[in-house]
Amino acid sequence: ANETPQDLQEARRQLPVYMVRNRLLEEIKKHDTMIVIGETGSGKTTQIPQLIHEQRLEGAGAIAVTQPRRVAAITIALRVAAEMNTEIGSIVGYSVRFEDVTSPRTKVKYMTDGMLLREAILDPLLKKYSVVVLDEAHERTVSTDVLFGIVKLAQKERNEKKLNPLKVIVMSATMDVDSFKKYFNNCPVIYLEGRTYPVTIYHSKMKQEDYQYAAVCTIFQLHATTPANHDFLVFLTGQEEIETVMYNIKQIAKEATGPPIRVCPLYAGLPPAKQLQVWRDAPPGTRKIILATNIAEASVTIPRIQCVIDTGVVKERTWSGGTGAERLAVRATSQAAGWQRAGRAGRTQAGAAYRLYTADEFRARPMHQTPEILRCPLASTMLLLIAAGVEPSNFPLIDSPPPDSVKASLSLLKELGAVDSEVNPKLTVIGKKMSTFPIEPKYSKVLLCAPEYNCLDEALSIIAVLSSENIFHTPMHKREEAIKMKQKFLSPLGDHITLLNVFKAFCKAPLKKQWCKENYLNHKNLTYACEVRQQLLAICLKLNMTVTSCGQAYDQYNPQYLSVYCADCLRTALGSGARAQAGAAAGRRGGGARAAGRYVTAAGAAAALHPASALQALRPPPAALLYTELLVTGRTYMLTASAIQPHWLHQVAPDYARRCRANR
């Protein structure tokens, strides 16, 4: 914020990377592959690509720098463009899903790992790039793990074909170096000397039942006893939790003793302008309290934190191959994450970290987090690999995914018609088309089937919303009001058409920001969904698909929000993607179970309608439904569901329908 080019250059010279830049560049020239390990904030992500570019080491190619998180890719690219005193999208650019801010002149390209993986389908040798930097390697996302294999194969083949060599730099803050070194044929490892100050660690004396409550208590205990110029960083799990804690802090602050407080949230869904608040100093005498998700653990560095409050939890998606249920669960962090979080307090002076869990609990935790590839759905990744011409079974991975999960993903792809066989799979014509959409295969299949039912227009909107983050905004302290405002969008047919109603109304609203606020909708996520729709539409048009609508305005009844669609068309199209899910449609299990909203999925799992589902308003709940998302948070919930006629089950899943009947 408001820094002059001189300030920025001075700041660059202060970073630990700067001291060792010559040695670093020598090593990069000498070796094709290397690992760089350095404390968060030492300047790896922002500086190393710049140093390479200043020396023109990339030659005619470009430098790709991957990030697991979209927000990190964007904010870092903006920062680097400012440091290089150039406009974003020229020499420095970024490319994230649904947003490409680069030009043919771009030499330093920050991108999500998922985007580079997509590029690899079209060009497995990554010929555009002479340097690929795989950053935040310790996070072990599926995409980064797969990219390790892609760059390894590309390097080998480019050598064999005598093409220009590909340099690979793997970077991380903390990492299980040995397994990486082995994987990359004993490549050299460079350790950057971080300049860190001692951090005193305090553990809870007793086990905490409610970490949110414990966090608020700790904040105010420390607030009363530490000088005002000490900033706090609190790790929480997500937007709604951050909003609740922020609300509580603001309420209590009115009564509490101590200096004035400025609270800054930091999470992925926050508008960029608000994110930048985090880097702005609070006025003298005011304490800054940053409430952040895991993004502040390693991806972005916030200076001048003296006090870290670590709840010891993180929100993580996991998946069970058997039932196809995705699980978004709050889980204990690893020991490595605990050290990493504590380290955030010692960047500019000695600090303290307050762990809201006991020392025994800490010692019982695993050293590292389980790599994503061992716990996530792999259908999209498999589809990409097959599209890139890779045989999944002999692809070099650091950790092989569980055979069950590979099998479930391949059988899903087979059911969706994307591949011809589960053994030695080849892409079908429709599978090739599916791979061009940057969305989950179950969703791209819906789009590809929609023209047949004349509803591509509606399907695009629904899939765009499903591919974005939650469009409803339900702050804890205004829950009732938010639920009341949602009523007018609810469709008795279910959640898909409810989402469509919201999306259409949003598109029509003249003052969108204001309108979202009034209706408890997330403006940023809806705007994003519009962009997603544009991109998906462009791909459909490229594939020569016909965009027609099955809807018509229904004027007599609440014309502003509700439209009627050919529900059968829409549901059949949705079913083309949903039927193949491990638990596609759920049927009733006896009349009592139906009244209670209990269902069994096609994969045999017991599941309930999510409390937020539009179908909750139906009495009795529908006998059969199809859902596109399954979520486990204690119980298994069908998150986005639409009612269907039971005979639909017979058509798409006859065995399952027979079983349901037998159960009744």
Question: Interface residues with ligand ADP (CB under 6 A)?
Answer: 15, 38, 40-47, 75, 79, 279, 301, 303
Nearer to ligand ADP, 229 or 616 (CB): 229
Nearer to Mg ion, 341 or 442 (CB): 341
Site string for Mg ion, 565-594 (x = CB under 5 A): ------------------------------
Nearer to ligand ADP, 301 or 616 (CB): 301
Q: Is 172 among the residues that bind Mg ion (CB under 5 A)?
A: no
The full DSSP string for 516-568 is: HHHHTB-HHHHHHHHHHHHHHHHHHHHTT------EEE--SS-TTT-EEE-HH
Nearer to ligand ADP, 277 or 616 (CB): 277
Pick from Mg ion, ligand ADP, none: which does 519 bind, CB < 5 to 8 A by kind?
none
Pick from Mg ion, ligand ADP, none: which does 616 bind, CB < 5 to 8 A by kind?
none
Site string for Mg ion, 59-78 (x = CB under 5 A): --------------------
Shortest Cβ 44–Mg ion spacing (Å): 5
Nearer to Mg ion, 45 or 519 (CB): 45
Nearer to ligand ADP, 38 or 61 (CB): 38
Six token digits for residue 460: 């695009």
Sign of the alpha-carbon torsion through 490, 494, 496, 500: negative
Q: Cβ-count burial of 434 within 10 angstroms (0-12 exposed, 13-18 middle, 19+ buried)?
A: buried
Shortest Cβ 298–ligand ADP spacing (Å): 7
Binding segment toward Mg ion, per CB under 5 A, in 40-48, 444-452, 454-462, 496-504? 40-48
Shortest Cβ 333–ligand ADP spacing (Å): 18
> In the Cβ-directed half-sphere of 8, how many Cα atoms lie within 13 Å?
16
Shortest Cβ 276–ligand ADP spacing (Å): 7
Shortest Cβ 45–ligand ADP spacing (Å): 3
Parallel, antiparallel or unpaired: strands 585-588 and 598-600: antiparallel
* Alpha-carbon span 604 to 611, nearest angstrom: 21
Nearer to ligand ADP, 42 or 628 (CB): 42
Shortest Cβ 319–ligand ADP spacing (Å): 29
Parallel, antiparallel or unpaired: strands 305-310 and 231-235: parallel
Kind and range of the H or E run holding 243:
helix 239-253
Q: Is 45 among the residues that bind Mg ion (CB under 5 A)?
A: yes
Q: Is 461 among the residues that bind Mg ion (CB under 5 A)?
A: no
Q: What is the largest CA-CA distance in the chain?
A: 76
Binding segment toward Mg ion, per CB under 5 A, in 37-45, 502-510, 579-587, 635-643? 37-45
Shortest Cβ 563–Mg ion spacing (Å): 47
Shortest Cβ 336–ligand ADP spacing (Å): 15
Pick from Mg ion, ligand ADP, none: which does 247 bind, CB < 5 to 8 A by kind?
none
Q: Is the bond preceding 259 in cis, omega lying within 30 degrees of 0?
A: no
Alpha helices in 20-106 (DSSP H): 21-30, 44-54, 70-83
Pick from Mg ion, ligand ADP, none: which does 444 bind, CB < 5 to 8 A by kind?
none
- The alpha carbon torsion through 494, 496, 497, 498 (nearest 10 deg) reads 80
Shortest Cβ 112–Mg ion spacing (Å): 14
SS3 category, 317: strand
Pick from ligand ADP, Mg ion, none: which does 67 bind, CB < 5 to 8 A by kind?
none
Nearer to ligand ADP, 277 or 549 (CB): 277
Parallel, antiparallel or unpaired: strands 624-633 and 635-644: antiparallel
Phi then psi dihedrals of residue 43, to 5 deg: 105, 15
Nearer to Mg ion, 18 or 247 (CB): 18
Residues 172, 299 contacting (CB under 8 angstroms): no
Total of residues contacting Mg ion (CB under 5 A): 1
Shortest Cβ 290–ligand ADP spacing (Å): 13
Nearer to ligand ADP, 233 or 625 (CB): 233
Shortest Cβ 74–Mg ion spacing (Å): 14
Shortest Cβ 40–ligand ADP spacing (Å): 4
Nearer to Mg ion, 295 or 614 (CB): 295
Pick from ligand ADP, Mg ion, none: which does 294 bind, CB < 5 to 8 A by kind?
none
Binding segment toward Mg ion, per CB under 5 A, in 39-47, 174-182, 270-278, 451-459? 39-47
Nearer to Mg ion, 45 or 106 (CB): 45
Per DSSP, 597 falls in state: T
Shortest Cβ 335–ligand ADP spacing (Å): 20
Nearer to ligand ADP, 45 or 525 (CB): 45
* Alpha-carbon span 75 to 79, nearest angstrom: 6
Residues 416, 335 contacting (CB under 8 angstroms): no
Pick from ligand ADP, Mg ion, none: which does 279 bind, CB < 5 to 8 A by kind?
ligand ADP
Binding segment toward Mg ion, per CB under 5 A, in 13-21, 38-46, 369-377, 637-645? 38-46
Site string for Mg ion, 232-271 (x = CB under 5 A): ----------------------------------------
Count of other CB atoms within 10 angstroms of residue 478: 14
First to last CA, the chain: 65
* Alpha-carbon span 370 to 196, nearest angstrom: 27
* Alpha-carbon span 97 to 100, nearest angstrom: 8
| R_g of the chain computed on alpha carbons | 26
SS (H, E, C) 635-652: EEEEEEEEEECHHHHHHH
- Degrees (nearest 5) of the Cα angle 588, 592, 593? 40
Query: How do the residues of the chain divide into helix, strand and coil, expressed in percent and rounded to 5?
Result: 45, 20, 35
CB environment 117-156: b (16+ within 10 A), e (fewer): bbbbbeebbbeebbbbbbbbbbbbbbbbbbbbbbbbbbbe
Q: Binding residues for Mg ion, per CB under 5 A?
A: 45
